[in-house]
Amino acid sequence: MKPKVAFFDFAGCEGDQLQIANLEEEILDLLGQVEVVSFREVMKEHSDDYHIAFIEGSCTRQQDEERLKQIRKNASVVVAIGSCATIGGINSLKNYQNLDTVKKIVYGENASLFDTYLARPIDAVIPVDAYVHGCPMTKEEFLHVVKSLLLGKKPEIPNYPVCVECKKNENVCAFERGEFCIGPVTRAGCNSCCVNEGTKCWGCRGMVDNPNENSQKEVLIKYGLSVDDAIGKFKLYFGWEKKK
C-alpha cells in the first residue's frame, strides 16, 4: 500500500506547494509512490487518514494552533516546507514592531477585526520531523526529503554556510560587488542560487547551527560594515530565530 500524504498551508504565499506542480513530468513518478489524500490547492477530496503531512506557512494566530495540533495527531511524520514554515521567514519581519501598530498601518480603524500574534515557524507550535528549507523550497530538495522519508532514512540537509557552495561555483564574492550578503552564516543547500544570479544571499534557509561569528565579524570589518548593519539584514528571515 502506498503511504498516504497530505498538504496543508498556513500564513504564506503558497509558492512552496507550487514547486510541487513545477516538478512537471516527475509528478507522475511521485504519484506512483504516494497517495495524496488532501491538498486543498489542487484537489476537492479530503481525508484525515494520512501518514505524512507537509505544512507550508507560518503560524501567526492563536486560533491556528488547534488545526496544527490536529494535523500532528493525525500524521506520524510532519514535514515543514519553505522558510515561513521552517524558520518563520519573511512573516516574522512584523515581529520587530508593536503588533497593534502593525495592524493599524494596514487596516486602520478596522484593525481590531484582524487577529495576529508573533509569526513563528511550525516547530514553535508542534514537533516537526523534517525540514525543506528555502524561499521557495527547491523541488530537488523536496524530492530528496520525500525519497529519504519513504526509505526510512534521515534526509541529508547541509549544516555549513552558503559560502562553501558559492566558492565551488566560482562566484565573485557579493561583498566585492558592494552587496551585503548573508551567505557566511546561512545554511547551504541552495547551491548559492541567488548569488549565481547576480544578487546576494538573503538568508532564506536560516542560520547554520553554529555560525562562525568571528569570521562574520572579520568580513564586516574588511568591508567597513557594522554589527548593526548585519542585524538589520538578519531581520529579513531570522526574525524568529534571533528573537526567541
- CB closer to another protein, 129 vs 179: 179
User: What's the rounded Cα separation, in Å, for the pair 117 and 59?
Assistant: 9
Please tell me whether residue 91 binds another protein under the rule CB under 8 A: yes
> What contacts 142, CB < 8 A, 6 or more positions away?
19, 20, 23, 81, 132
**Among 51, 75, 80, 103, contact with another protein (rule: CB under 8 A):** 103
Scanning residues 120 to 159, which ones bind another protein (CB under 8 A)? 135-136
Please tell me whether residue 70 binds another protein under the rule CB under 8 A: no
- Taking residue 112's Cβ as centre, other Cβ atoms within 10 Å add up to 10
Asked if 128 contacts 56 with a C-beta cutoff of 8 angstroms, the reply is no
- CB closer to another protein, 10 vs 54: 10
Q: Nearest CA to 161 among 205, 121, 193, 127?
A: 205
CB of 154 to another protein, least distance (A): 27
- CB closer to another protein, 61 vs 144: 61
Dihedrals φ, ψ of 239, to 5°? -50, -45
Please tell me whether residue 191 binds another protein under the rule CB under 8 A: no
Give the rounded distance of the alpha carbon of 113 from its chain centre.
28
**Residues contributing to the site for another protein (CB under 8 A):** 9-19, 21-22, 24-25, 27-28, 31, 36, 39-46, 57, 60-61, 64, 89-91, 93-94, 97, 101-103, 105-111, 113-116, 135-136, 193-194, 196-199, 202, 236
